[in-house]
Amino acid sequence: MPLNSLGLPKPPAETRVVVAMSGGVDSSVVAAMLAEEGYDVVGVTLQLYDHGAALAKKGACCAGQDIHDARRVAETMGFPHYVLDYENTFREAVIEEFADAYLAGATPVPCIRCNERVKFKDLLETAKDLEADCMATGHYIQRRMGPNGPELHCAADPNRDQSYFLFSTTPEQLAFLRFPLGHLASKAETRALAAKYGLPVADKPDSQDICFVPNGSYASVIEKLRPGAADPGEIVDLSGKVLGTHRGVIHYTIGQRRGLGIGGGEPLYVVKLDPGTRRVIVGPKEALATRIIPVREINWLGDEPLTARPEWHVSVKVRSTRPPREAIVRPLSATEAEVELLDPEEGVSPGQACVFYETGGTRILGGGWIWKGRAA
């Protein structure tokens, strides 16, 4: 039996695909494309949060308008659509940790945790309960078959690539997941497909912010979740000298220069946040340069175990917006490693992900979470 376009050995009509639909153009196009190809498509949208004000806001995913948009796409293409209430799961698995990490002086990436703990865990189990053969999403990333099974590769369009947010996808999940947009050359192609299928979301703008953070204001969300978190404190230099006061550690991020209110002299940057003493520590730009990064909770996607070698020469990304740069990963265990950057990077922050890539290639070898490390 020849394989169908999703790599499964049966006709599309006998292949059930659950499509994770956010209400945006990407996942809508995936659902429409598979429906047109004759697959047995079931659309599922997650109700993740209800922030009242956030519901009316444009550019957030999985809120009221988005559920409505996903339903309209399903009606247009004639396949069933379900809405699952995941608010409690999302709050416990994503929002609470986001608040705690932020208050601990880290810069969290909740979108990764949502993929890891909600979409690719609970939703994936739901897809299996619905007797699906696979689950498809609108992420821009590629799944390719390698000699040892499915591999994760960067999207064809580097501007849309979402590999940084999907490094924690496990080999077992990868066996079940499909990413039909990963090979497209540009977002324009996706929108053209949406117009071709006559989808009501063809011109819908892309979501920009974290879905539960209205207007991109992290601080206001944290204040609601953790009253008292915005208590003022001191701004000090590396020697501990007080330079000024601040209006709450939650308003600052590592690498920040503007808005410190301590003008004059050489430019100073936030180099550390100490929530325990409510101090913002500032220093010159060179104080931001980091060469050694402790990484834990590693998800490894290489062909042999992470601990099979004393060191791996790879490229790493320490922020989603930066290009990969060469590094050496030295495993400490199956889930912990020390990463040495060949060129120091500025503004490396605990709470961000460190994602491993094949140097000069497109394959994602996994990644982990940057942390403060053990005290020497």
In order of start, what are the domains of the chain with their CATH numbers? Answer: 12-197 (3.40.50.620), 230-283 (2.30.30.280), 289-370 (2.40.30.10)
DSSP string for residues in 277-326: TTEEEEE-GGGGEEEEEEEEEEEE-SSS-GGGSS-EEEEEESSTTS--EE
Q: Which residue has the tokens 């491993």?
A: 356
pLDDT for res 8: 96
pLDDT for res 56: 45
Q: What is the mean pLDDT of residues 210-239?
A: 82
Q: How many CA atoms lie within 13 A of 25 on its CB side?
A: 21
Q: What is the mean pLDDT of residues 39-43?
A: 98
- 22 annotated binding-site participant: yes
Alpha-carbon distance values, 360 to 79, 182, 273, 303 (Å) = 42, 19, 35, 17
- 239 annotated binding-site participant: no
pLDDT digits (tens, 9 = 90+) for 317-332: 998 888 999 999 999 9
CA distance 68 to 70: 6
Sheet holding 233-236, edge to edge: 242-246, 233-236, 279-283, 269-274
Alpha-carbon distance values, 366 to 80, 152, 233 (Å) = 34, 9, 38
Residue 57 has pLDDT above 60, yes or no: no
- 146 annotated binding-site participant: no
Task: Decide: helix, strand or coil at residue 220.
Answer: helix
Q: What is the mean pLDDT of residues 70-77?
A: 94
Residue 124 has pLDDT above 90, yes or no: yes
pLDDT for res 357: 98
Give me the active site residues, please: 114, 211
Residue 315 has pLDDT above 80, yes or no: yes
Q: Could you tell me which residue, 184 or 265, shows the higher pLDDT? A: 184
Q: Which residues face 299 on adjacent strands?
A: 367
Task: Decide: helix, strand or coil at residue 267.
Answer: coil
pLDDT band with cut points at 50, 70 and 90 for residue 31:
very high
Q: What is the mean pLDDT of the chain?
A: 89
Q: What is the mean pLDDT of residues 270-299?
A: 91
Q: What is the mean pLDDT of residues 43-48?
A: 92
Q: What is the mean pLDDT of residues 285-300?
A: 94
CA distance 123 to 121: 6
What are the phi and psi torsion angles at 198 (to 5°)? 70, 35
- 217 annotated binding-site participant: no
Q: What is the mean pLDDT of residues 39-57?
A: 73
Per-range mean pLDDT, top range of 81-90, 103-112, 361-370: 361-370
H helices present in the chain, as ranges? 25-36, 64-77, 87-90, 96-103, 110-114, 124-129, 171-176, 187-196, 218-225
Residue 59 has pLDDT above 70, yes or no: no
pLDDT digits (tens, 9 = 90+) for 187-220: 999 999 999 999 989 888 887 667 888 677 777 8
Q: What is the mean pLDDT of residues 29-50?
A: 93
- 138 annotated binding-site participant: yes
pLDDT for res 373: 65
pLDDT for res 50: 65
